[in-house]
Structure 1
Amino acid sequence: MSIEEPMRKTEQEIMPARASQITKPLGYDIYPYYSLGDNKIFNGYSSLCDFIIEQKTVVIDGYVGVYWNKLITALKEDLIDRGYALNLIESKNYLKSQAQLNEMIAPFLGTEGSVWGTKTTLTLADYFNMPALTEIEKSTSADINIITGCGASLSDWKAALIYVDLPKNEIQHRMSAGSICNLGLDLQKEQTEMYKCFYFVDWVVLNNHKKALINDIDIFVDAQWEDSINWAYGKDIRKGLEKMSSSVFRARPWFAPGAWGGQWMKEHMPQLDRNEVNYAWSFELIAPENGIVFESSSFLLEVSFDALMFAQNKNVLGVHAAKFGDEFPIRFDFLDTFDGGNLSIQCHPSLKYIQREFGENITQDETYYILDCKDDAKVYLGFQDNINPTEFRDTLEKSNLYNEEIDIEKYVQVHQAKKHDLFLIPNGTVHSAGAENLVLEISATPYIFTFKMYDWVRLDLNGKPRPINIDHAFKNLDFNRKGATVKQELIIKPSILFEDNDFICYHLPTHKEHFYDVHRLEFEAEVEVETNNVCHVLMLVEGAAITVESADGAIMTFPFAETFVIPAAAGSYKMINKGSERAKVIKAFLK
């Protein structure tokens, strides 16, 4: 593949390499970072070469999507210019054949054209001719020995380990540009097939590999920029992760357009690129795809949220770490339909179904919290009392076959949406967010298992039909969630849990299927909260801004609509209202 191809396809700018290049807004900030202190992050290939020269022998491992050719060329040119003789070996030369790799991963990719596969049981070693890889010897005649590429550390060289990482959003922007391939492969797949392979195979394999290496990495490299890198010593990153895991922090959000996407985020988040057609989703806190950004002496370096969980899951999850391990179980994201369209009529799989069919550990139990909406905003939720499943399926099948609109309200209930409403969407519940909403989706972490039944006869942003999954849906739909039961059980009526002076804690009880619960904390001045060894995920849902002081002395300010995390190990924290109106903060936590 030519490294001259366009690096990424998106209207959105790449994260700046320096904090000094970011103009901080008064409100929502798309570039949050956590300081490591001074002189902990370094810039450029030349400074990394200084480290390599000191070591004489290095292993450079890393993630799929990295432009390995660019990295290797930059290191070679710098070291050769300095007069060093190199022995540089690429791990890709020890991969199994393309035919072997495609045959190996095929069982995890479902049928051709299907939306989902099954999480792989493969390991990174399965990709390689391991006897040949482990027999590679260093050259005694070379000044410097380097082995580089995904899986380089499987060579078992006893040497300093450099790990090159790439944010998941940038992997997808490169995928859209056609400038990268899936792990080990030379030929590009169609984009939906590439993403499926990333999600069910590549990321699983490489995350397990990263987890095994996390405490042995000597250098972390952030390679999201086309012509440069930022890097830091592993001990400093691990120290930062440890400190963060008992403090307060915010992941870096990212944003994506969609067929039904709206304009609320574009209007209220000034750093977002206004050339994007719309913003449908924000990945506020979707742990498998978010990153965490560190800052030092203005340089920025992003690591995956997974790295925090691999290193500090017990501090983050506290009493729930034994159950969830290094899988962060709560998801926050925005669904923006302001001046946009309705989401598809959809449902999500049962726990047994998602485990059996897709290899997930937990299922996609959701809630919709209405952060903002217009007067005519609606939420579709639950069936009409007289629902006839056979008639409903026949109508859906006919609509899909003949591309015909249907009167969906004949089958599915529609409810007016108002600010601060909470709608419960346990698995198997038919639902959709209507136009003119900004929904804060509070959910279990799985996020791609949406069984669409009706999509309003529209095309995606590339002019193609969006996949309809009627068969999957009807294996999971709960037709007992209908009639009056919907308002009684799925539309929440908050109750006061406790109050003290100007502080009120409301309980927004979730469904018995949900393993997380929701509180809303309302206060004029300030409030102190104990974690009780449970992780809290929070957002200011009304008010200008709050300052959060954690027990370790860390202080961060969060304006309206920013998601932040208080790990279980933080112990306690104080929230101080910085605005003139009463602050309202949503808190989600594991039961």
Structure 2
Amino acid sequence: MSFMFNPYPYDDPNAVNHISFNSELKSSITPDSPASAKKLAAQVKDMLSGSPRCIIGLDGYMSAPMDSFKGLLSLQLALNGIQVDTLSTETLFLDSDTLYEKFLPYLPEDRETDPVLLYGSRYEEGYESLMQQKEIEKLSARLKEFSEKGKGVLVIYGYGALIDALRPFYNLKLYIDMTQKRTILNIRAGAFSNLGSTRQMTINHILRRSYYIDFEVAAELRGQLIHNNEIDYYLTGDNPDKIKMLPVNTLKALFDTMVSYPLRCRPVYLEGVWGGFYIKRLRNLPEDMKNCAWVFDLIPMEVSIAADIDTMELEFPFYCFVQVIGTKLMGEKSAKKFNGYFPVRFNYDDTYHSSGNMSIQVHPNGDYIKGNNELGRQDESYYMVVTGQEAKTYCGFRQNADVEEFIEKARRAEKYGEGFDHDEYVYSEPSVAGQQFLIPAGTIHASGRNQVILEIGSLTIGSYTYKMYDYMRKDLDGNLRPIHTYHGDKVLRRDFKESWVRENLIQKPRVIREGNGYEETVVGEHELLYFSLRNVRFFEKYEDETTDRFHVLVLVEGEKCLIRSLTDPDRCFEQNYLDMVIVPAGFGPYEVINKGVGKVTIHKTLLKDGFENE
């Protein structure tokens, strides 16, 4: 998949989980920024009644409104007659040139192999490796002196304020979090420009560094802070005027309650040159959207998860949710196998009534990307949800295709802008609703025009879509879309041709379970993929159970279903057409009830038996 460089600024109001939560704990959540600052000021005033000093550490995810909230808190403290001094962490970071050199191995600048500088390697050395040790020691000495002799309040705010070296000095520790979509939108608006950087860069280069470096160090620290109870309060920062504040124990209790329900994430919608209009109309997306190419319904690192408790809505990054409650959500074996990451990603690709196909592309195997600190290969699958006239799906090469000739023509298209007939080389099948295509790493593939596909893939954190041909097409900014034949050539499976594809990747459904009025079939399963893809068809209802393995259910045919626990019917989710719902690993026995008319189909994804040994 590629990174979310340009999300549409729309918060889907229907993608909210309705949760029954402990009323006493709910009362500990403040509803907006003024209330949060006022509550903190009152707590600090109380603390100062027993001590002449208080040190506050205020950290946050990239683009979090720390400066404005620090100012609001300072005003509230001043109203209480409390003296406040503030210090920013900006001076801690290595200078911009040093950071640039440090990151070159992670963000190489070879435009022959990566024309627009999109790819890189995940950085795993942590926040303090980006900082000057002498500056950390100097600030530590300042904090030590204040903790012994100071008066009033000292606020240390900014990125990395809660690193290990500084955390022991604080009397109160705060963390402002952000959803990934809002973070990207803030970056595009100029609200953030990379940790320690004073260089002027293009938006794509800022985002590239953010994904491989800044987001990684921030997410690692956030997970550590919450998991180990090393913050006092967690604050939601997407709306600077309505920052909600939760004691960390309340946050964990809320997540613990949420994971006892079936859950839907809040999607991110993106326009694109091949974008269609089916999802846009289905979900009443804003009229001024050009189209809707991608729907990130469950891309774990990009989406958020929202819950309403009575009249209060709270929204969190889904990856933060996974960091805190991942074992209960995914299952113990899955959490261990995938290092705490949610292991499967889901999205819709919509070319319905669009201007063209998706690009002809390929994804790498595990050996190729593990050198980039990734966890494994990038495998995918396409499930045909809706198909229109002349819809087709590309998968593998034609039986007699000269693959080397295809690669040479793709290179000439990249270098000289010479188009060619890709249909002579790439095999395609007419698309039929309900058909499943498997796309293991190395398979040349693309979704054709005039269809909506449910794309399901393996865990990947970086960007690993290598376009081999894109029809000489320009992007929405009018620039020729980049091609990546250098990488694509190295990972392309020349042997994945028509006969092998038809035998292995386009499978006939096989029944594995049936009962009173329902039938469950495997529609796609292969030794190269660690997940199993299934359909469950029924008129009235069917029963199932999660046993240390989550299920993801998509209503691909039908109007509405109710997913609810058989042991506690109040734990339920009302699912509409194309809603994507996670049934957590610890949910236990459940039923899915048809609330519409006619026969319905649920597309079901789960990890295969023995996945942990693959």
Give TM-score scaled by structure 2 length.
0.89
Q: Which amino acid aligns with 2:129?
A: D
Task: Decide which of 553, 560, 571 is 1:545's aligned counterpart.
Answer: 560
CA distance in 2, matches of 1:158, 1:36: 31
Question: Does residue 1:554 correspond to 2:578, yes or no?
Answer: no
Residues 203-236 of structure 1, C-alpha deviation per residue, up to 9 Å, x if partnerless? Answer: 2111111121013232111111243322222111
Question: Does residue 1:136 correspond to 2:142, yes or no?
Answer: yes
Question: Does residue 1:121 correspond to 2:124, yes or no?
Answer: yes
Corresponding position of 1:573:
590
Corresponding position of 1:306:
319
Give the 3-state SS of the residue equivalent to 1:178 in structure 2.
coil
Q: Which amino acid aligns with 2:137?
A: P
Corresponding position of 1:62:
60
Give the 3-state SS of the residue equivalent to 1:339 in structure 2.
coil
Task: Tell me: CA distance 1:253–1:13, structure 2 relative to 1, closer, same or farther (3 Å).
Answer: closer
Does structure 2 retain, via aligned residues, the 8 Å contact 1:32–1:252?
no
Corresponding position of 1:52:
40
Question: Does residue 1:284 correspond to 2:284, yes or no?
Answer: no
CA distance in 2, matches of 1:399, 1:9: 26
Corresponding position of 1:12:
9
Give the 3-state SS of the residue equivalent to 1:415 in structure 2.
strand
Does structure 2 retain, via aligned residues, the 8 Å contact 1:535–1:567?
yes
* Equivalences for residues 43-442 of structure 1 within 5 A: 43-53=31-41, 54-55=43-44, 56-111=54-109, 113-129=116-132, 130-137=136-143, 138=146, 141-154=150-163, 155-156=166-167, 157-215=169-227, 216=229, 217-270=231-284, 272-318=285-331, 319-340=333-354, 341-356=356-371, 358-442=372-456
Give the deviation of 1:576 after TM superposition: 0.9
Corresponding position of 2:499:
484
Does structure 1 retain, via aligned residues, the 8 Å contact 2:38–2:76?
no
CA distance in 2, matches of 1:218, 1:496: 52
CA distance in 2, matches of 1:36, 1:58: 30
Does structure 2 retain, via aligned residues, the 8 Å contact 1:516–1:589?
yes
Does structure 2 retain, via aligned residues, the 8 Å contact 1:34–1:293?
no
Give the deviation of 1:524 after TM superposition: 1.1
Does structure 1 retain, via aligned residues, the 8 Å contact 2:16–2:307?
no
Task: Decide which of 450, 475, 480 is 1:460's aligned counterpart.
Answer: 475
CA distance in 2, matches of 1:12, 1:121: 30
Give the deviation of 1:187 after TM superposition: 3.8
Give the 3-state SS of the residue equivalent to 1:136 in structure 2.
helix
CA distance in 2, matches of 1:294, 1:136: 41
Residues 174-214 of structure 1, C-alpha deviation per residue, up to 9 Å, x if partnerless? Answer: 22223321223244421221222122111211111112101
Does structure 1 retain, via aligned residues, the 8 Å contact 2:275–2:350?
yes
Does structure 2 retain, via aligned residues, the 8 Å contact 1:398–1:404?
yes
Corresponding position of 1:588:
605
Residues 229-287 of structure 1, C-alpha deviation per residue, up to 9 Å, x if partnerless? Answer: 222221111012122334321111111111211111111002x2221111111111111
Give the deviation of 1:37 after TM superposition: 4.8
Does structure 2 retain, via aligned residues, the 8 Å contact 1:285–1:333?
yes
Q: Which amino acid aligns with 2:438?
A: L
Does structure 2 retain, via aligned residues, the 8 Å contact 1:230–1:300?
no
Give the deviation of 1:531 after TM superposition: 1.1
Q: Which amino acid aligns with 1:285?
A: L
Does structure 2 retain, via aligned residues, the 8 Å contact 1:36–1:236?
no
Does structure 2 retain, via aligned residues, the 8 Å contact 1:42–1:299?
no
Give the deviation of 1:42 after TM superposition: 1.9
Q: Which amino acid aligns with 1:532?
A: T
CA distance in 2, matches of 1:295, 1:145: 35
Give the deviation of 1:523 after TM superposition: 1.2
Residues 19-54 of structure 1, C-alpha deviation per residue, up to 9 Å, x if partnerless? Answer: xxx5xxxxxx24445454543432233222233221
Give the 3-state SS of the residue equivalent to 1:580 in structure 2.
coil
Corresponding position of 1:497:
512
Q: Which amino acid aligns with 2:124?
A: T
Does structure 1 retain, via aligned residues, the 8 Å contact 2:66–2:176?
no
Corresponding position of 2:49:
none
Q: Structure 1 residues 176-185 or 405-414, which shifts more?
A: 176-185
Q: Structure 1 residues 73-82 or 517-526, which shifts more?
A: 73-82
Task: Tell me: CA distance 1:47–1:85, structure 2 relative to 1, closer, same or farther (3 Å).
Answer: same
Q: Structure 1 residues 439-448 or 163-172, which shifts more?
A: 439-448
CA distance in 1, matches of 2:55, 2:313: 27
Does structure 2 retain, via aligned residues, the 8 Å contact 1:517–1:589?
yes
Give the 3-state SS of the residue equivalent to 2:188 in structure 1.
helix
CA distance in 2, matches of 1:501, 1:352: 46
Task: Tell me: CA distance 1:11–1:449, structure 2 relative to 1, closer, same or farther (3 Å).
Answer: closer
Give the 3-state SS of the residue equivalent to 1:152 in structure 2.
coil
Residues 153-179 of structure 1, C-alpha deviation per residue, up to 9 Å, x if partnerless? Answer: 121223222110111111111222233
Task: Tell me: CA distance 1:499–1:13, structure 2 relative to 1, closer, same or farther (3 Å).
Answer: closer
Question: Does residue 1:469 correspond to 2:469, yes or no?
Answer: no
CA distance in 2, matches of 1:9, 1:309: 24
Give the deviation of 1:431 after TM superposition: 0.3
Give the deviation of 1:387 after TM superposition: 1.9
Give the 3-state SS of the residue equivalent to 1:381 in structure 2.
strand
Q: Which amino acid aligns with 2:357?
A: N
Residues 479-538 of structure 1, C-alpha deviation per residue, up to 9 Å, x if partnerless? Answer: 111122221211121111121120101111322110100111111111110112211111
Does structure 2 retain, via aligned residues, the 8 Å contact 1:258–1:281?
yes
Q: Which amino acid aligns with 2:59?
A: D
Does structure 2 retain, via aligned residues, the 8 Å contact 1:63–1:206?
yes
Q: Which amino acid aligns with 1:128?
A: M
Q: Which amino acid aligns with 2:67?
A: N
Give the deviation of 1:449 after TM superposition: 0.8
CA distance in 2, matches of 1:440, 1:145: 51
Does structure 1 retain, via aligned residues, the 8 Å contact 2:397–2:425?
yes
Give the deviation of 1:11 after TM superposition: 5.6
Q: Structure 1 residues 553-562 or 290-299, which shifts more?
A: 290-299
Does structure 2 retain, via aligned residues, the 8 Å contact 1:518–1:587?
yes
Does structure 2 retain, via aligned residues, the 8 Å contact 1:33–1:250?
no
CA distance in 2, matches of 1:519, 1:461: 36
Q: Which amino acid aligns with 1:473?
A: G
- Over the matched positions of the two proteins, sequence identity in percent amounts to 27
CA distance in 1, matches of 2:512, 2:601: 15
Q: Which amino acid aligns with 2:345?
A: R
5+ unaligned residues in a row in structure 2: which ranges? 45-53, 111-115, 609-614
Corresponding position of 2:612:
none
CA distance in 2, matches of 1:293, 1:57: 32
Q: Which amino acid aligns with 1:126?
A: S
Does structure 2 retain, via aligned residues, the 8 Å contact 1:14–1:225?
no
Give the 3-state SS of the residue equivalent to 1:131 in structure 2.
helix
Task: Tell me: CA distance 1:36–1:108, structure 2 relative to 1, closer, same or farther (3 Å).
Answer: farther
CA distance in 1, matches of 2:442, 2:542: 38
CA distance in 1, matches of 2:531, 2:442: 17
Corresponding position of 1:42:
30
Give TM-score scaled by structure 1 length.
0.92
CA distance in 1, matches of 2:239, 2:324: 25
Task: Tell me: CA distance 1:404–1:165, structure 2 relative to 1, closer, same or farther (3 Å).
Answer: same
State how many pairs are aligned.
570
